[in-house]
Structure 1
């Protein structure tokens, strides 16, 4: 019986991080792809203590959030305009006051800038990174939910 060599956890983890940091994100990526990429970056960010990796992940996250923000500035999808005009309440995974995706992206960007600045006490930076993680995942869920509502 032969055994196949497997990667150790560390090598596998390094490979995932390398892929996340080097895989290009096309300028034409749609909001779902962008939000999923941001969720992947922030998931690794919350687990990393390496300063260089932390900085690189923050940079990638900011780039992805900026691209996502650009999508928010474009016209609203027609189904959302119709719902707003009709006065329909959207059932969403976020409170009504957060149902503007651009607001969520701006909050996530501000947190990322604060964390990337390395001026916060370590314990505060760790807690804000956890908050950023939760916000980006909530944003990704909201973007996916909005897309499903449109269909």
Structure 2
């Protein structure tokens, strides 16, 4: 009897991290692409202890957050509006006191700068990276939901 084995695809850390380190965020990326890029950066940062890679990832995250901040007040292009209309609607993922995405981006930028500064104790930097991770993921969801409710 012959057994046919199925191929196994293991996603190595290098295959995930390498594109994030080598491909800068496009200056023409839309707000959703920027939010997704930010979540990719923080997802790797929260799991990694590689200082050299992390320094680059924090810089790229900072640039992506700055671009995201610039686009917070822009109108969405029609193709993104169509994506939102087709998607599921759910309750808000953020407290009512955070009324706009720009404030959340500012918070994430401040956290990124604090950790990038390199002056924090390692345990504090690790905890703030975790907070940054959660903040950016929540921000990415909120960006999509805030535009969804506006259309």
Shift of the 3–22 alpha-carbon distance from structure 1 to 2, 3 Å rule, reads: farther
Q: For 1:59-70, what aligned pairs fall within 5 Å after superposition?
A: 59-70=59-70
Residue 60 of structure 1 and its aligned partner are, at CA, apart by 0.5
Alignment match, 2:93: 93
Residue 7 of structure 1 and its aligned partner are, at CA, apart by 6.9
User: 1:119-139 deviations in whole A, cap 9, x for unaligned?
Assistant: 111111111000000000000
Q: In the alignment, is residue 32 of structure 1 matched against residue 29 of structure 2?
A: no
SS in 1 for 2:15: helix
Structure 1, unaligned stretches of length 5 or more?
A: 78-90
SS in 1 for 2:13: helix
Alignment match, 2:79: none
Structure 2, unaligned stretches of length 5 or more?
A: 77-90
Residue 28 of structure 1 and its aligned partner are, at CA, apart by 1.7
Aligned residues: 135
Residue 8 of structure 1 and its aligned partner are, at CA, apart by 6.1
SS in 2 for 1:98: coil
Q: TM-score, normalised by structure 2?
A: 0.79
Shift of the 52–7 alpha-carbon distance from structure 1 to 2, 3 Å rule, reads: farther
Alignment match, 2:14: 14
RMSD: 2.2
User: 1:6-48 deviations in whole A, cap 9, x for unaligned?
Assistant: 6766xx2112101112223221211111011000100000111
Which ranges of 4 or more aligned residues in structure 1 deviate by more than 4 Å?
1-9
Q: TM-score, normalised by structure 1?
A: 0.79
User: 1:64-121 deviations in whole A, cap 9, x for unaligned?
Assistant: 000001012x3567xxxxxxxxxxxxx5211121121111011101111111111111
